[in-house]
Chain A
Amino acid sequence: MTITGPAGSTGLGQDQAGRTTPPAPEGAGNGTVSRRGFLGFVLGGATLVAAAPFVEAPPAAADGIPTLPQPAEIYDLNDFLTHISIPTSQLITITIDEDGGASFALPRAEVGQGITTSTAMIIAEELDLPLEKVRVSLAPARPELLFNQLTGGSNTTISTYTPVRVAAAVARGALLDAAARLLGDNVDQLVTKVGGIVEAPDGRQVTYAELTIGAAATNDRAVEVRLPDRPEGRVVGTPQNRVDARDAVTGRKEYATDLQVEDAWPTMVCRAPTLNGTLRSVENLDAVRRMPGVTHVAELDFGVAVRARTFGQCIEAVRVVEAAWKDGPVAGESDASVLRGLQASQLPLPALPSLPLLVRTINHDVTFYFRSNSPMDTNSAVADVREDRAEIWSALKSPVVAQAAIAEAVGLPVSKVTVNVVQGGGSFGRRLFFDGALEAARISKAMGVPVKLMWHRADDARAGRVHPMCTSRIRTVLAGNEVVAFQQSLTSIETDFRHGLGDALTAFAADLPTGLGNLAFSETVFLLTQEVPYNFGAVVQTLTEADQRFNTGSMRNIYSPDVRAASELVVDRIAEAVGKDPYEFRRSHLRNDRVAAVLDKVAEEGGWGREMEPGTAQGIAIHKEYKGATACLVEIDCRPETVGREVRDAVTGPRVTKVVFAVDAGLVINPRGLEAQMQGGINDGIALALTSSLHLEDGHFLEASWDNYFYTRQWNTPPQVDVHVMPSDSPQPGGAGEAGVAATFAAVACAYARATGTTPTHFPINHLDPLAFEPKPFVPPVPPAPTNGLDLTY
């Protein structure tokens, strides 16, 4: 990784000992840095508890506002997610513990994106604590937070950054007050020192550990703190390793299925052979009950649940279930029939401007097939549902909605349902939903015992959430060498937004009959995220959704990767039509300086335009979202000897040999974490372009495991990946988790088109090739466990 330019310092004064001055009173400051006032609280407690409301109205987008801005440019999804929190926000709290460290329960889900680390960094910075003395846990469902407990849209740092800073600054102020009383000094003369120490001018020191009880309040009181626009950068902006890295490499990091909750025995479900089919009856219930290790069997509408001493015995029991099923809603359907339905739903394209002579049109249609978000850690949850209360443990990005749904399903008041948020082994959109947690609660209620539910991988692939199939139609008009109109129409299987905005109220609204509620959400999200950052005359982008029969959701972004890939392919074709180089053409039509800067960066660092062997090519693309900008340059090898290389039970195909990626994410909290998210997003982009999809045939998805579903593997990943984090003087952090995908997908698509001379009309490019695997049976729904592991050691 390289970090170019200044490391994000504001030039704020900091003395050579690394000390920082306490929050300045109003009107103070060094005269060059603006400080803004914020309201916080010291709450009553045994030790110091500092709090801040989740309230911060970000300034209006400061980017150059173009003459005819699209909605996403002036008010994007992140503004929306941030602003809706304002009227209903409640407090977040930082506690200074008796050892002088700080504790914070983050009301978000950590699923690998690194927010526990970046949040700890923000607190460490403001409190002058070493990172290892900041403990960030995940808050359980807090219904009073309403909109404020949804993890999605790469929004965590954007929305929590200022409230967390304010709470930390309140804590620091209270520690200084307590130190002033203890040391008999004026608070203005005290400084905090790195390590959790307050020091007086004469050198006397007192630690946070010694101060926290004295700083504790008996009654809540409001205080005002002032913060510089940007932190000084002692911790924020420096590359830091993840706070949970050691737990991860030692096997100590706990996921839902690792939890040891008393009597919560392994539980799995035998599901219908068709997608979302339902159980009619079980023919051999007693035989299933007599299987080794089995303790309970329960019949539910979604399948037959078995609880056993081990998951292995659950698998064996699931495999012997003989049941009658009612077909699911897509029984008999296949990719082709679903696509025909989508095409029938396509709206007439808006009328193009009236065409004088000497105009050209460039049109391109693309189909994107179903894809699975497929986290390594399948849908899983521990549930202990009793007569009068319930407790759930699961990786949940919308725990407030989950809590309400579970309470309703098991017939308890919401206040009697505790929902604990556990770290997730990946999400990629999957954990916006709580399918596993809801099933676990219903099974626990039906069996009358605690359960640890885990979906088999085959269930996860075949019945889990998918990114919807969609089509993109682009119509462009050129007058001479100028683009005068660019119209893109996306038609998609409905994306489920029934998780709402993280609270039960909007989730209910999204679930209104006939899908009208959800439609409003999809249209809103589409409008707030999509834009064409080029000067292309009359730009229109539309979304039409149809078909609610699938289990859908976001997948490391929602619309952007598909929309960008389709758009950038057409940009390349326009450039070719007007005789321009793809980079030069983009550069001369970009409307945004930040996007231009990342584009220039990858062109320069990646050696754009270098001579390439026949069958290989470069591709370049950009994306603007998440308060930031990204650009990607790739090199692809489509020569027959590469495409045809053989790896057992695998898809090989074209190999991306090099990726150069630039990201402007505004104020960067952790450049090392940001780089990691871009590296991951790059592999997602490659998967979407080349290898990764689900095939629907006769009412079920054929893919059932990792030897069928071809997410990027080591033999597909680029040997060279360079990520450049751009300098930024923005006071505002941008998003990271999904930001690497769209530009990469688009760049790979463009490179493939240039290497092969063929602009793809579907993605991934191999979707219509002969299947690369033998589909596993649908009855029983899970494959047998192999026994030959000792023959395959190395």
Chain B
Amino acid sequence: MPTQTFRLNGETVTVDVEDDVRVLWVLRDLLGVVGPKYGCGINVCKACTSHVNGRAFNPCAVRVGDLADDDEVTTIEGLPATVGATGDELHPMQEAWLEHDVAQCGYCQPGQIMAAVALVGKARREGRTITDADLDGIRNICRCGTYTRIREAIVDGEGRM
């Protein structure tokens, strides 16, 4: 069985599994990293949204064999450390999420937060701030319908980042 190596939340991980298993299942079923959620398996619900090398991606749609040894995968579990947070400290976007009490059932929320952080990063690379059109374009589904608070939290979180 092939050995897969990539970086996960700041550490190098190695796992024995076939090349074509999607990263989501390597994370959840083999490494016990369950923050990224399953909601569709075909990259449309975005509940598994995580980061690869600082950009949002959906691990349900990436074969583990397609990750390079030095590809840095960040899940919600590793998000605080990306801004140097330690211990119980959180990423500013997570803080905004708490401030606005966004979550209801909570299932889609790790993906929503990871998408929000990436969206702020994208806007900054383009030299601008988040617009209503950016918010309208977010594809992450929230079946509880927390969209209003998600929008408020993203704008708040952008200011904190």
A381 to B28, CA, bound (A): 16
Contact pick for A293, options B18, B23, B57, B132, CB 8 Å: B18
A residues less than 8 Å from B56 (CB atoms):
793-794
Inter-chain contacts of A479 with B (CB < 8 A): none
Partner of A794, one of B38, B55, B59, B149: B55
Q: CB-nearest residue of chain B relative to A457?
A: B40
- Contact, CB under 8 Å: A712 / B147: yes
Q: Does A195 contact B (CB under 8 A)?
A: no
7 closest A-B pairs by CB: A251-B35, A112-B105, A425-B107, A683-B145, A248-B106, A789-B61, A680-B145
Q: Which of A28-36, A98-106, A491-499, A780-788 contacts B (4 or more CB under 8 A)?
A: A780-788
Which residues does chain B contribute within 8 Å of A248, judged by CB atoms?
A: 103, 106, 109
- Give which listed residue, A114, A254, A712, contacts B104 with CB less than 8 A: A114
Jot down 12 A-B pairs with beta carbons below 8 A, ordered by A.
A112-B106, A310-B25, A312-B21, A313-B25, A376-B107, A376-B108, A424-B105, A425-B37, A679-B149, A706-B39, A707-B44, A714-B135
Q: How far is the CA of A148 from the CA of B150 in the complex (A)?
A: 35
CA distance A647 to B119 in the complex (A): 17
Instruction: Identify which of A186-194, A255-263, A613-621 touches chain B.
Output: A255-263
Contacts of A260 in B (CB 8 A): 32
Chain A residues near B61: list those with CB within 8 A: 785-789, 792
Q: Which partner residue on chain B sits nearest A714 by CB separation?
A: B138
Task: Map CB proximity to A onto B46-63 as digits: 1 under 8 Å, 0 otherwise.
Answer: 010000110111111111
Is B122 on the interface with A (CB-CB < 8 A)?
yes
Nearest CB in chain A: distance from B146 CB, A: 6
What string of 1s and 0s marks CB contacts (under 8 Å) between B65-108 and chain A?
01000000001110000000000001000100110011111111
CB-CB nearest in chain B for A789: B61
Q: Answer yes or no: B130 CB below 8 A from chain A CBs.
A: no
- Identify the interface centre among B36, B41, B45, B97: most chain A CB within 10 Å of its CB: B41
A43-51, A239-247, A345-353, A504-512: which lies at the interface: A239-247
Please pick, from B20, B41, B109, B140, the residue contacting A249 in the complex, using a CB distance under 8 A: B109
Q: Which residues of B contact A94 (CB under 8 A)?
A: none
Interface residues of B in 106-141 (CB under 8 A from A): 106-110, 113, 118-119, 122, 132, 135-141
B106–A247 touching, CB < 8 Å: yes
What separation, in Å, do the CA atoms of A400 and B22 have in the docked complex?
37
Instruction: Tell me, yes or no, whether B30 is within 8 Å of chain A by CB.
Output: yes
Which residues of B approach A to under 8 Å, CB–CB?
A: 17-18, 20-26, 28-30, 32, 34-45, 47, 52-53, 55-63, 66, 75-77, 90, 94, 97-98, 101-110, 113, 118-119, 122, 132, 135-151
Q: Please state if A249 and B45 are interface contacts (CB–CB under 8 Å).
A: no
Residue from B39, B58, B149 whose CB has the most chain A CB atoms within 10 Å: B39
Cβ of B148 and Cβ of A679 under 8 Å apart? yes
In Å, the complex CA distance between A187 and B37 comes to 52
Q: Is the CB of B137 within 8 A of A785?
A: no
Instruction: Mark each residue of chain A from 360 to 388: 1 if its CB lies under 8 Å from any CB of chain B, else 0.
Output: 00000000000000111110000000000
Stretch at the interface among A156-164, A715-723, A763-771: A715-723
Tell whether A589 is near chain B: CB-to-CB under 8 Å.
no
B25, B35, B106, B138: which contacts A312 (Cβ < 8 A)? B25
Name the residue of chain A whose CB is nearest to the CB of B52: A793
Which of B97, B98, B105 makes the CB contact (< 8 A) with A426? Answer: B105
**Chain A stretch 744-794: residues in CB contact (< 8 A) with chain B:** 782-790, 792-794
Q: What's the Cα separation between A684 and B141 when bound, in Å?
A: 13
Q: Which of B39, B122, B147 has the most CB of A within 10 A?
A: B147
Residues of A within 8 A of B66 (CB): 787, 790
Partner of B107, one of A255, A786, A788, A792: A255
A456 touches B17 (CB 8 A): no
- In Å, the complex CA distance between A310 and B30 comes to 7
